[in-house]
């Protein structure tokens, strides 16, 4: 594959992976006016549905990007209950309840101007994606999978497959940042092994429209 190299314009920073971390980094570098190219193997960012709740620290980061309000208003009804309820079955006994104020009830904390918010990844990632794509100097390239990396004294050559066409190309960059999740290609290409169990459990997220 390394021989089929079609040169493409280089970018000073290449982010591998367009999950929440890669997209957030593209937003952050974009606002600091660092040109960046993000390579994501999936067709779009709406294919993943892991995150359901956005934590306080992440909301603080989104606040810095002026995205907190959009995340607050993505569509979850502000008067719906947010308590987590532990039951013996759906029509059984309630065993316990973690109380959480509804969004419309407002919230104040001594520790943060933000609160944890329900915002599933199928809505959260597109908000980050739209923002990243709007910043000058940020390019998001979907259906582009990083296959190999070669580092030298001046930077890194990145081997990529454009999945939509099957075209293979390479590009030059100063820095590669691996944001490609737990099964990271970048990590394994660097020969860094993962300790512990890669799969702690098997979960399924289900959205029910009622």
Ligand X SMILES: Cc1cc2nc3c(=O)[nH]c(=O)nc-3n(C[C@H](O)[C@H](O)[C@H](O)COP(=O)(O)OP(=O)(O)OC[C@H]3O[C@@H](n4cnc5c(N)ncnc54)[C@H](O)[C@@H]3O)c2cc1C
Instruction: Using CB under 6 A, list all residues that contact ligand X.
Output: 16-22, 39-42, 48, 50-53, 55, 145-146, 179-181, 185, 203
| Tokens representing residue 83 in the block | 């308590």
Work out how close the CB of 125 gets to ligand X at its nearest, in angstroms, rounded to a whole number.
8
Tokens of 43: 């067709």
User: Which residues are CB-contacts of 81 (< 8 A; sequence separation ≥ 6)?
Assistant: 102
Query: How many CA atoms, within 13 angstroms, populate the side-chain half-sphere of residue 63?
Result: 13
Integer Cα distance of 21 and 7 in angstroms:
28
The least distance separating ligand X from the CB of residue 30, rounded to whole angstroms, comes to 16
Q: Which is nearer to ligand X, 137 or 181 (CB)?
A: 181
Q: Is the dihedral of CA 62, 114, 76, 19 positive or negative?
A: positive
> Which CB, 88 or 171, lies closer to ligand X?
171
Indicate the residue among 122 and 185 with the shorter CB distance to ligand X: 185
Comparison of 23 and 135: residue with beta carbon closer to ligand X: 23
In the complex, the smallest distance separating the C-beta of residue 87 from ligand X, rounded to whole angstroms, is: 20
Shortest distance (Å) from residue 184 CB to ligand X: 7
- On the CB side of 137, CA atoms within 13 Å amount to 13
- Tally of CB atoms within 10 A around 78: 11
Rounded CA gap, 104 and 148, in Å? Answer: 49
Of the two residues 135 and 161, which places its CB atom closer to ligand X in the complex?
161
Cα–Cα distance for residue pair 114/125, rounded to 1 Å: 19
Nearest distance in Å: CB 209, ligand X: 19
């Amino acid at each position: 594959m390394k021989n089929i190299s079609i040169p493409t314009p280089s970018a000073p920073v290449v982010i591998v992976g367009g999950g929440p971390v890669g997209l957030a980094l593209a937003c952050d570098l974009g606002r600091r006016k660092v040109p960046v190219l993000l390579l994501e193997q999936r067709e779009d960012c709406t294919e993943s549905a892991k995150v359901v709740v956005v934590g306080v620290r992440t909301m603080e980061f989104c606040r810095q990007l002026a995205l907190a309000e959009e995340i607050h208003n993505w569509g979850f009804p502000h008067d719906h209950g947010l308590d987590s309820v532990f039951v013996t079955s759906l029509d059984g006994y309630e065993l316990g309840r973690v109380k959480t104020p509804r969004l419309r009830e407002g919230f104040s904390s001594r520790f943060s101007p933000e609160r944890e918010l329900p915002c599933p990844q199928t809505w959260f990632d597109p908000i980050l994606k739209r923002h990243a794509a709007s910043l000058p100097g940020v390019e998001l390239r979907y259906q582009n999978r990083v296959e190999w990396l070669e580092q030298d004294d001046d930077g890194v050559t990145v081997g990529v497959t454009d999945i939509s066409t099957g075209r293979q190309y390479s590009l030059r960059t100063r820095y590669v940042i691996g944001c490609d999740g737990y099964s990271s290609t970048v990590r394994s290409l660097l020969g860094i092994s993962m300790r512990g169990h890669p799969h702690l459990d098997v979960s399924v997220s289900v959205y029910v429209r009622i």
